C-alpha cells in the first residue's frame, strides 16, 4: 500500500472508532508522526489529506520543514529549554511540557514573538524511568503555576504515552486514567485566557482505537501510516 492509501485507511479507522463510541469524528484529530521519514513521504501524506504533522525532535523538524507543504506542525517529543527558541514560530502545539522551567522558557520566547503557544502537559502514566512527563498527582500544581505566571502560554490539556504493549487492551486502563484526570482538569477554576483544557492527546499506531474509545481528541500515529522506522 502507498502512504496515501495507508493514511486514508488510518483516517477511516479513526472515524469508525469515534462513531463506535458515539463521538463525532470531527472531534478527533489525527496527527501523522513523521520522525525518521523524509519530506517527500510527509508530502504524500499531506496530499492525501493530512493536516497535522508530529515530530519528536527539534533538529529533525527544522531539517525538513522547508521541504514540506504548509501544514500544522506539532512537537510531540521531549523538549530541551535551549531548543525552544528554534521552534516557537514553527509549531502550533507543544505536547510535552513537563516542568515550570520549560513553560517559562516557552512563555519568554512566545512573548518575544508576539504569540501565545498552546501546550499540553505530558503525564508519565506508569512512572517509567525511561519516559519524561510528570506524575498525575503533580498536574494541578504545575498547571496552576504555569497559568499564574505564563501569559503567553495556553494550557490546552494533557498528553500521555502508556507503556509499550503487545495488546491494545493493555493500554486501556492508562487511557481511562488519563481521561479521568482530563475530566477533573476541566473543572479547575483557572484564568480562561491561559487555560482551555480541550485536548487529550493519547493513542499511537498500536492502540489509537482504544484511545479514541476512551476519549482521545488527538491521536499520534506514525508507523501505521509511514511504515517501520530505521533509526540512524
Ligand atoms: C513515535 C511517536 C508516536 C507514533 O508512534 P507509532 O507507534 O509509530 O504510531 C506517537 N507519539 C510520540 C510521542 C512518539 O514519539
pLDDT digits (tens, 9 = 90+) for 116-140: 999 999 999 888 888 899 999 999 9
Sequence-distant (≥ 6) Cβ neighbours of residue 69 within 8 angstroms? 43, 46, 47
pLDDT digits (tens, 9 = 90+) for 39-75: 999 999 999 999 999 999 999 999 999 999 999 999 9
134 to each of 46, 124, 152, 168, 200, how far by Cα in Å? 33, 5, 22, 23, 15
CATH tag for 3-225 (out of 3.20.20.10, 1.10.390.10, 3.40.50.80, 3.40.50.150): 3.20.20.10
pLDDT digits (tens, 9 = 90+) for 143-188: 999 999 999 999 999 999 999 989 999 999 999 999 999 999 999 9
Q: Is the CB of 32 under 6 A from ligand 1?
A: no
> What gap in Å lies between CA 77 and CA 97, rounded to an integer?
9
145 to each of 148, 149, 182, 212, how far by Cα in Å? 5, 6, 17, 30
Domain ranges in the chain are 3-225
Q: Is the CB of 225 under 6 A from ligand 1?
A: no
pLDDT at position 56 is: 96
Tell me which residue has its CA closest to atom 12 in ligand 1.
Answer: 76
pLDDT digits (tens, 9 = 90+) for 21-44: 999 999 999 999 999 999 999 999
pLDDT digits (tens, 9 = 90+) for 102-111: 999 999 999 9
Could you identify the atom of ligand 1 that is nearest to the CA of residue 224? 9
pLDDT digits (tens, 9 = 90+) for 181-211: 999 999 999 999 999 999 999 999 999 999 9
> What gap in Å lies between CA 168 and CA 9, rounded to an integer?
18
To the nearest 10 degrees (0 to 180), the angle between helices 139-149 and 100-113 is 30
Sequence-distant (≥ 6) Cβ neighbours of residue 129 within 8 angstroms? none
> What gap in Å lies between CA 60 and CA 41, rounded to an integer?
14
Do 154 and 195 touch, CB atoms closer than 8 A?
A: yes
Q: Is the CB of 203 under 6 A from ligand 1?
A: no
Quote the cell numbers at residue 39: 519530506
The model scores a pTM over 0.85: yes
How large is the average pLDDT for residues 91-110?
98
> How much distance in Å is there from the Cα of 223 to the middle of ligand 1?
8
Q: Is the CB of 76 under 6 A from ligand 1?
A: yes
Q: Is the CB of 204 under 6 A from ligand 1?
A: yes
β-pair partners for 188 = none
Amino acid at each position: 500500500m502507498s502512504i496515501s492509501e495507508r493514511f486514508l485507511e488510518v483516517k477511516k479507522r479513526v472515524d469508525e472508532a469515534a462513531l463506535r463510541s458515539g463521538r463525532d469524528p470531527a472531534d478527533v484529530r489525527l496527527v501523522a508522526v513523521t520522525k525518521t521519514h523524509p519530506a517527500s513521504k510527509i508530502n504524500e501524506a499531506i496530499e492525501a489529506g493530512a493536516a497535522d504533522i508530529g515530530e519528536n525532535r527539534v533538529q529533525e523538524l527544522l531539517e525538513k520543514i522547508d521541504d514540506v507543504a504548509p501544514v500544522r506542525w506539532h512537537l510531540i517529543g521531549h523538549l530541551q529549554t535551549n531548543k525552544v527558541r528554534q521552534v516557537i514560530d514553527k509549531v502550533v502545539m507543544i505536547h510535552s511540557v513537563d516542568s515550570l522551567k520549560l513553560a517559562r522558557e516557552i512563555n519568554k520566547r512566545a512573548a518575544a514573538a508576539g504569540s501565545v503557544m498552546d501546550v499540553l502537559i505530558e503525564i508519565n502514566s506508569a512512572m517509567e524511568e525511561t519516559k519524561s512527563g510528570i506524575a498525575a498527582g503533580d498536574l494541578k500544581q504545575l498547571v496552576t503555576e504555569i497559568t499564574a505566571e505564563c501569559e503567553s502560554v495556553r494550557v490546552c490539556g494533557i498528553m500521555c504515552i502508556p507503556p509499550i504493549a503487545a495488546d491494545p487492551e493493555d493500554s486501556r486502563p492508562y487511557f481511562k486514567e488519563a481521561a479521568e484526570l482530563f475530566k477533573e482538569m476541566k473543572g479547575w477554576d483557572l484564568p480562561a485566557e491561559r487555560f482551555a483544557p480541550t485536548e487529550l492527546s493519547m493513542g499511537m499506531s498500536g492502540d489509537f482505537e482504544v484511545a479514541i474509545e476512551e476519549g482521545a481528541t488527538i491521536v499520534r500515529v506514525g508507523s501505521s501510516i509511514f511504515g517501520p522506522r530505521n533509526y540512524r
